[in-house]
Amino acid sequence: MRSFGYICLIVLIAGLLSGCKSKKEMIATIADLDGNWKVTELNEQKLDPEQSRQVLQFDILRRHLSGNAGCNRMTGSIEYNEAMPNIIKFSQVATTRMACPNMKSENEFLGTLAKVVRFQKTDEAKPIHSIVFFGTDNKPLMVIEKQ
């Protein structure tokens, strides 16, 4: 009877350890960002992507960022180190200079993009459909969803 108890304990521990391992493996990496994304939340405020028109396009191979800041087109560079898979920085971001009726949301978007230092997935499995960007204070800055 005692050996049966030990066997049950070993099976329980093995199950717990394998469960922990599978969650660790599901970390978002820089490759998961490749493609087109719409901004659905900015500074903890939900956005209607059809109205805000803020779109990010990541070309990870070229380390390039492009998209729409709301009114103006944008372009920039992506900085990352593959040894730290969820650390990221957007640099040399530039936009066109069209006259837009409301620049407040676009300026907020660009300012927030400059504060991003890391990202993580919100999905439980792959493929990843939603990513959260964080600042240095570990506060969520932006949520994007795959198009």
- What confidence tens digit (pLDDT) does each residue in 28-41 have? 899 999 999 999 99
Q: What's 73's domain CATH number?
A: 2.40.128.270
Domain ranges, residue 96: 27-146
Under the banding of pLDDT at 50, 70 and 90, the label for residue 102 is confident
Report the pLDDT value the prediction gives residue 105, as an integer from 0 to 100: 94
Domain count of the fold of the chain: 1
- How far, in Å, CA of 57 to CA of 59, rounded? 7
Q: Residue 21 falls within a domain, yes or no?
A: no
Q: Residue 8 falls within a domain, yes or no?
A: no
Q: Looking at the predicted structure, is the pLDDT value of residue 133 above 80? A: yes
Q: Residue 9 falls within a domain, yes or no?
A: no
- State the average pLDDT over residues 70-90: 95
Q: Residue 13 falls within a domain, yes or no?
A: no
pTM above 0.85, yes or no: no
